[in-house]
Amino acid sequence: MKQSGLDARIRVWCLAMRPRTLPAAVAPVLVGTSAAAADDAFAALPAMAALAGALLLQIAVNLANDYFDGRRGIDTKRRLGPIRVTQSGLIAPGRVLAATWLVLALAGACGAYLAAVGGWPVMVIGLASIAGVLGYSGGPYALASHGLGNPFVFIFFGPVAVCGTYYVQSLTLTGSVLLWSFPPGLLIAAILAVNNLRDIATDRETGKHTLAVMIGPRGTRAEYALLVVTAYLLPPALLAAGIARAWILLPLLTLPLAVDNIRGVYRANGRALNLRLGATAMLALWFSTAWSIAILCT
């Protein structure tokens, strides 16, 4: 019985940490590390610390979102997404908040090592990331409740994560790394678009003004398609511009998955969009894996 109870607690905490979102943390670190390796600047320890820090920050933002949305009444019994542990009472709010701070402290330890390697620019990135974790759903002006979640996700999971991962290994930046950072940021922002599309009705009721609430279902579906299509237009654009070789087209092998997701988002409503949420997260990871191989070969 004790083992069964322990297993149940572990499952509840895993539910709170939302493991299906973790590909969003892995994808940009993979791209940044591949860019560093392509420039003969790969450094194993900083790369591993960047990955650990990214995963911990993703878990922290998930816990913070669970806590703040639960306490503010944004998550209700009518929500269509997976169960939230604060709102459902599975874990006491204080424990969720304490876990958030613990995970942030662990992320801070990774950040301290990376700051020792990369200096003050890395410290600024780390502090901004921690502030973003807390400010996304919490604070007096929660970004997610004022239509700013989408640009936040693009910036932090695209340019900040990719360029930051590259910088801690190479101690420099190039314009090409910034270009490499756009597709992961776009596709991970698409994950949020699906999430917010599903929650339009309940978010509107509770006063959470996401971009999806502001532009409505039709606009959000168009946003999703635009984000995904733009990510897939970048490889041929870079090839046509002479910036990369033909290897850069490798991510186009995942195009059937992208088309299937766009069709699914346009056809699905309510809880059916949960499937598209996970599928978009995997699309971001598969695209980023192919993108990383292409960068190494370019």
What pLDDT, on a 0 to 100 scale, did the predictor assign at position 259?
Answer: 97
pLDDT in tens, 45-83: 999 999 999 999 999 999 998 898 888 777 667 666 678
What pLDDT, on a 0 to 100 scale, did the predictor assign at position 76?
Answer: 67
Residue 243 binned pLDDT confidence (cut-offs 50, 70, 90): confident
Report d(CA 190, CA 232) in Å as an integer.
Answer: 13
Lowest mean pLDDT among 103-107, 201-205, 223-227: 201-205
Mean pLDDT, rounded, of the chain: 91
What pLDDT, on a 0 to 100 scale, did the predictor assign at position 1?
Answer: 40
Report d(CA 220, CA 250) in Å as an integer.
Answer: 28
pLDDT in tens, 204-237: 888 889 999 999 999 999 999 999 999 999 999 9
The share of the chain scoring above pLDDT 70, in percent, equals: 96
Strand partners, 146: 209
Phi-psi region of 18 (alpha: psi -120 to 50; beta: other; left: phi over 0): left
What pLDDT, on a 0 to 100 scale, did the predictor assign at position 69?
Answer: 83
Say if CB 228 and CB 250 are below 8 A apart: no
Q: Is the pLDDT of residue 2 over 60?
A: no
pLDDT in tens, 154-197: 999 999 999 999 999 999 999 999 999 999 999 999 999 999 99
HSE (CB half, 13 Å, CA atoms) of 265?
32
Cβ contacts of 18 within 8 Å, gap of 6 or more: 59, 62, 82
